[in-house]
Amino acid sequence: MSMTLPKKLMMIGAILAVSACTNANGWGDDDGVGSGQTGATAPGLVTDQTSPAYFQQAIGDRVVFAVDQSTLSDEAQSILAAQAQWLGSNPDYTATIEGHADEQGTREYNLALGARRAAAAREYLISRGVAGNRLKTVSYGKERPLEVCSEEACYSKNRRAVTVLTTDLTG
């Protein structure tokens, strides 16, 4: 099996050192521009409002959820509203929304739960004007925790939907 990237997707700024780091974990599944699943830093300057770094760090690329829930809190809605606005002003970007669960659950259920969370974020972005064909979703279930402790402090960060920017070079 060779490393494969999703069709037509390409990482932006692949020549940047940060992107090399992103890829250094050896995972074949695409990490996009600053990955939710690995917690890598997006390229660009955080002071540049058109950069993925700004999207990730200034706006916030992720929203978190309550235990076994996929409803969006007020805070999550305001983060997603800002993401929608940014995507509106930066039409060259598309995004994959990654849904994740904490480890308190069976593997299959958590895959389905992560999918619900990603879909909830996607629906909200669409309701704020982002075209549905710019937004894909994928669930990692409990396969890619960001935090490793077995306590709520970690679980609360792992129950997340992360908007990972991508660009479709072939339009």
Q: Containing H/E element for 162?
A: strand 160-168
To other proteins, the closest distance from the beta carbon of 44 in angstroms equals 23
- Regarding 102 and contact with other proteins (CB under 8 A), the answer is no
Strands 93-100, 9-10: pairing kind: unpaired
Q: Does 17 bind other proteins (CB under 8 A)?
A: no
**Residue 148: exposure state from Cβ atoms within 10 A (0-12, 13-18, ≥19):** exposed
Q: Which residue has the tokens 């909200």?
A: 124
Of the candidate spans 6-14, 41-49, 57-65, 72-80, the one that interacts with other proteins by CB under 8 A turns out to be 6-14
Distance CA 49, CA 7 (A): 28
Residue closest to 82 by CA, chosen among 63, 98, 96, 100: 63
Interaction of residue 168 with other proteins, rule CB under 8 A: no
Nearer to other proteins, 54 or 102 (CB): 102
DSSP letter for 133, please: G
Q: How far is the CB of 77 from other proteins (least distance, A)?
A: 17
Q: Stretches 11-19, 40-48, 52-60, 107-115: which one binds other proteins (CB under 8 A)?
A: 107-115
The single residue among 49, 59, 147, 168 that binds other proteins, judged by CB under 8 A, is 147
Residue 77 touches other proteins, criterion: CB under 8 A: no
37 vs 51 by CB, closer to other proteins:
37
As separate numbers, helices (DSSP H) first and strands (DSSP E) second, the chain gives: 5, 5
**3-state class of 139 per DSSP?**
strand
Residues of the shown chain interacting with other proteins in the complex, contacts defined by CB under 8 A: 1-7, 9, 25-30, 38-39, 70, 103-109, 111-113, 115-116, 118-120, 122-123, 136-140, 143-150
